[in-house]
Structure 1
Amino acid sequence: MKPMLFILLFSILSCKNDTSGSELNESKDVLETTAEVVDISDIDLDIYDYDGIEPLINIKDDKIHVVNFWATWCAPCVKELPYFEAIHQNYKDKNVEVLLVSLDFPRDYDKKLKPFMKTQNIQSKVVALDDTNMNRWLPMVSEDWSGALPATIIYSGEKRQFYEKSFTKEELESELKQFLSL
């Protein structure tokens, strides 16, 4: 499949979970605030291909890592981001690190992604994945990943769990607690 066609299909079919109309409107409202003129000069965004991301999602240390793959154009992703931010705030002193991997298109970094990060005051580390060879890196992230967003990995030591779904705050915290009890 040609890369551009694959990217188009990926972006159309990516958001896995259905959302109600009110949830879509809430996410749309959040994203529309990013369309306002926002000073993004202080927003640093590291951009990687998969080879650059790979070490960030396979860190061998004594921490619990929560890695969320998301995009500003994915309503379920935007809806659950505050839950990841809550994990970052509430568990950073408990050896938990959150990494948000944006799959936004490069043309949208300055006009959507960075303004979104600024207006939503994202405190977790955010990096962008710019690698069109999804056929190579999707199975490297997880053999179970169809490519739908949102997708999350939680790992610590030898234990690793992949989730291709959106979370409620309670579900995300429950999954994290399984790793905290190790």
Structure 2
Amino acid sequence: MNTRFFQFFGLFLISSFFMACAPETTGGSSEQQDVPVAVPTASSETAEPGLPFPVYENFSDLEYLFRYQNDTTYVINFWATWCKPCVAELPYFEQLHSEIGNEKMKVILVSLDFAKDVETKLVSFVKQRQLKPEVIALTDGKYSDWIDKVHPDWGGAIPVTYIYKGDHVLFHDQQYDSFKELKTSVDKIKDQG
């Protein structure tokens, strides 16, 4: 097995035990044409009936999120309910989402919670927190197979935030410590092109 897998697995175990994680973000591709801004909603292909968000079992099924070629800024955050730094920065993404107004921006929260915890923990977490940004669950545990597709600098720890607009990308591999810090990152990309 490769070194990157062992790095991720070790960080993952530590994060699970201490409920602490380190942040990171992703990169995009520019092969696809303009596509709709809306993210698919839960369907029989993505989620069990009654779940309030889509659930993907394979990263390849949501890879399209990183290929939009339009004038919208996409803010994609990888997180999990068991990750304290992830949960600590969620209010900043909530605030960003609430302040979007008429701006062409989409905030997407990609949960990496375990498949067994989606219905028992993630659903109740999302409902209790009344999360307004789009939530997607990715239950593919084969992280070493796809983290490079998000961004080659991603070592595997979370939270990670990938912000892009067209070909302009910002990969943030640490927890945001304030809304201002997140907004500064978003503005760097939003004001491009």
RMSD: 2.1
Distance change in 2, residues 1:10/1:103 (3 Å): farther
- 1:69, 1:91 → 2: CA distance? 20
Choose the corresponding residue for 1:123, options 126, 132, 137: 132
Distance change in 2, residues 1:84/1:101 (3 Å): same
Q: Is the 8 A contact 1:13 1:148 kept in 2?
A: no
Q: Which amino acid aligns with 1:152?
A: T
What is the CA distance between 1:149 and its match in structure 2?
0.5
Identify the structure with the greater helix proportion: 1
* Residue number in structure 1 paired with 2:13: 12
* Residue number in structure 1 paired with 2:152: 143
Would you say how many aligned residue pairs link Structure 1 and Structure 2? Answer: 157
Q: Is the 8 A contact 2:7 2:155 kept in 1?
A: no
- 1:65, 1:153 → 2: CA distance? 8
Residue 180 of structure 2 aligns to a residue in which SS?
A: helix
Q: TM-score, normalised by structure 1?
A: 0.79
What is the CA distance between 1:9 and its match in structure 2?
3.2
- Farther-moved stretch of structure 1 (83-92 vs 101-110): 83-92
- 1:111, 1:93 → 2: CA distance? 35
Q: Is the 8 A contact 1:43 1:118 kept in 2?
A: no
- 1:153, 1:11 → 2: CA distance? 19
- Farther-moved stretch of structure 1 (172-181 vs 103-112): 172-181
Question: What runs of 5+ residues in structure 2 fail to find an aligned partner?
Answer: 16-20, 24-48
What is the CA distance between 1:11 and its match in structure 2?
2.5
What is the CA distance between 1:178 and its match in structure 2?
1.3
- 2:11, 2:52 → 1: CA distance? 26
Q: Which amino acid aligns with 2:143?
A: M
Q: Which amino acid aligns with 2:105?
A: V
Q: Is the 8 A contact 2:89 2:175 kept in 1?
A: yes
* Residue number in structure 2 paired with 1:21: none
* Residue number in structure 2 paired with 1:175: 185
Choose the corresponding residue for 1:46, options 40, 54, 75: 54
Runs of 4+ in structure 1 over 3 Å off: 5-10
Residue 147 of structure 1 aligns to a residue in which SS?
A: coil
Distance change in 2, residues 1:7/1:108 (3 Å): farther
Question: What runs of 5+ residues in structure 1 fail to find an aligned partner?
Answer: 18-40
